[in-house]
Chains A and B, each alone.
Chain A
Amino acid sequence: MRNIIKLSITLAVVGIISAALLTGVHNVTAPIITERQEEEYRQALEFYFPEVASYESEEIGDDYFDIIYDQSGDMIGVMGTIEQQGYDGTITYNLAMDESGSIVGIRIVSHSETPGIGDVITTEGFQEQFIGKSYEDPIVAGDDVDAVTGATVSSSAMINSVRRVAGVVAENYLGVESVEIDLAEVPDGTYQGSAPGLGGELFIEVEVSGGEIVSIEVTEHSETPTYFVESYPLIPDTIIAEQSLDIDTNTGATVSANAIVEAVENALLVALGHEVEVEEPDEESPVEVNISEVPDGIYEGSAEGFYGPIVVEVEVSDGQIVNISVLQQEETPEYFANANPAIPDCIIEEQSLDVDTQTGGTFSAKGIVQAVLDALTGALDSDSGGEN
């Protein structure tokens, strides 16, 4: 009995001394830590908005925003603190936008992306492509900003997040009215919509009947299957159950979930006759050319790859593509090897440009397809124009 008491007292004493010590050190370091973090944030803020005089914090959803005012009390911009799921954990970053809605800066606060791969998001080269972009720009990978080959997940997550936050800022602080969708006004029918997901464009088909969404079908996507199941069919089901697009998209696959919601929104906006900035359709699904109409001959075409133009030579004989050779390219050899000759072979075999470009060198692969398309359309144009 006495032994137990002795043991307990020993443990208690050790615990108490330890707690006292920790409290002491905490009291010393805690103010320094907070001060330092605030200081860092303030420095970033002053860097982006040199005329800052005061700011006001606000929370919208899961995002924090500081509305920044100058001496005379005019709003000069907004700086958001955003948490975004990356490839490996949460990416916390600040997004600074000026009062006209242009992005003035991106600052990664913390991340745990793969060193040497996903940490490309911290590089100036990646971040500066956002500078000057506004909420009116598409901010879509492969359109006006580039995802980074080999780090597609990390860079797409950032791109999609920046696009979303730019929209939130525009809607809440810049007086840009978001178009309200009144489901009752949507005529019955089936509508298609698309939005960029994590792996590429995601296509949906939404059916509206009697002013209600009755079904949402994802017709095409390039999301990671293991994550995608977290959002599908959960997200469509939630939209249908609530008959609203204002739903919680915090699933294990938030980017995919947001893409579904955005795609449904786009489809409904089109249905209501609004103009929606639709992604370049030929980027994802090449315009088909009728190969049988192309006269025999050898045609040259070019298109942008990842690093520069890719020039191809296409030989057509009897309405069939018989040979495709790449004349010129500046792609990374390792990645390009994944796209060539696989993609030309695939096009020749299928006699179609609608081939799967998800290789280890997607940008190069798309470049080749576009270059072939360019050659064939060029052949058709010059033929019909009679200039040959």
Chain B
Amino acid sequence: MKASSPYLQDFTRGIVKENPVFVALLGMCPTLGVTAFIVNGVGMGLAAAAVLIASNLVISLLRNYIPSQVRIPCFIVIIATFVTIIEMVLQAFQPVLYEALGVFVPLIVVNCIILGRAEAFASKRPVLRSLLDGIGMGIGFTLALLILSAVREILGHGTILGPDPESAIHLFGANFEPMALFAQPPGAFIALGLLLAIVNLLFKRFNIK
């Protein structure tokens, strides 16, 4: 890892070592809120990733023009703009996903991952590195949501690719009684806690620091 270029590091950092969900524990609100189904979790991850990449790019481009006194309001306006765009696009082209994500789409504005990366990284780094950082963090967030929502959907509903009955695949046959707890908010906490334990264990085993 030491010898690798800073670009590669910028890209991979967000996926494993500084994974926004499993390591930094940021953006918990959508992480817990929309991960009852894989489709919703991944949709949320991609929406947030798109905003993150776009805002990282624009903020890095504008970093020399925005006076530091007003940088936070500027960042928020930029992020909010992208979130609103994503919201309108989702509503127009992905209505089912838009309905399922509900209030969590506008809440991407206050997702601390995005403002955090803008403030800590993109506002001080050149464009390409910020872009790579945004993509890496976006993948990391999406990946974490994918894992959590897979656990919750399989245990809580016994399906994958639900809730749409046309695409849903029932894994355990018709007589399977799903653990409804995992479909509900308390189940999200429990599943996340278990996953965090597993991630910590793996990090320890493979000496990732």
Query: What is the interface of chain A, defined by CB distance below 8 A to chain B?
Result: 3, 6-7, 10-11, 14-15, 18, 21-22, 25-26, 28-30, 32-33, 36, 110, 112, 114-117
Q: Which residues of A contact B102 (CB under 8 A)?
A: 112
Q: Which residues of B contact A30 (CB under 8 A)?
A: 88
A32-B92 in contact (CB<8A): yes
Contact of A26 (CB < 8 Å), options: B88, B157, B183: B88
Q: With A22-B84, A25-B88, A25-B89 in contact, is A116–B180 under 8 Å at CB? A: yes
- Decide if the interface of chain B is mainly helix, strand, loop or mixed: helix
Which chain B residue has the least Cβ–Cβ distance from A4? B69
A14-B77 in contact (CB<8A): yes
A340 to B43, CA, bound (A): 46
Sample of 11 further A-B pairs with CB below 8 A, known A18-B80, A22-B81, A33-B91 = A10-B66, A11-B74, A14-B74, A15-B77, A18-B77, A25-B85, A29-B91, A115-B36, A115-B183, A116-B156, A116-B184
Interchain residue pairs with CB less than 8 A apart (28): A3-B69, A7-B67, A7-B69, A10-B65, A10-B67, A11-B70, A11-B73, A11-B74, A11-B77, A14-B66, A14-B78, A18-B78, A18-B80, A21-B81, A22-B85, A25-B88, A25-B89, A29-B88, A29-B91, A33-B88, A33-B92, A112-B102, A115-B183, A115-B184, A116-B157, A116-B178, A116-B180, A117-B180
A15 to B99, CA, bound (A): 28
Q: Which residues of B contact A14 (CB under 8 A)?
A: 66, 74, 77-78
Is B206's beta carbon under 8 Å from chain A?
no
The A/B interface has a contact count, at CB < 8 Å, of 61
Q: Which residues of B contact A115 (CB under 8 A)?
A: 36, 183-184
Which 8 A-B residue pairings sit nearest by Cβ, starting from the closest?
A29-B92, A116-B180, A18-B81, A32-B92, A29-B88, A116-B183, A25-B85, A7-B70
Which chain A residue has the least Cβ–Cβ distance from B62? A14
Which chain B residue has the least Cβ–Cβ distance from A24? B85
Query: Taking the nearest CB of chain A, how far is it from the CB of B9, in angstroms?
Result: 30
Query: Taking the nearest CB of chain B, how far is it from the CB of A116, in angstroms?
Result: 4
Is B93's beta carbon under 8 Å from chain A?
yes
Q: Which residues of B contact A15 (CB under 8 A)?
A: 77
A33 to B78, CA, bound (A): 24
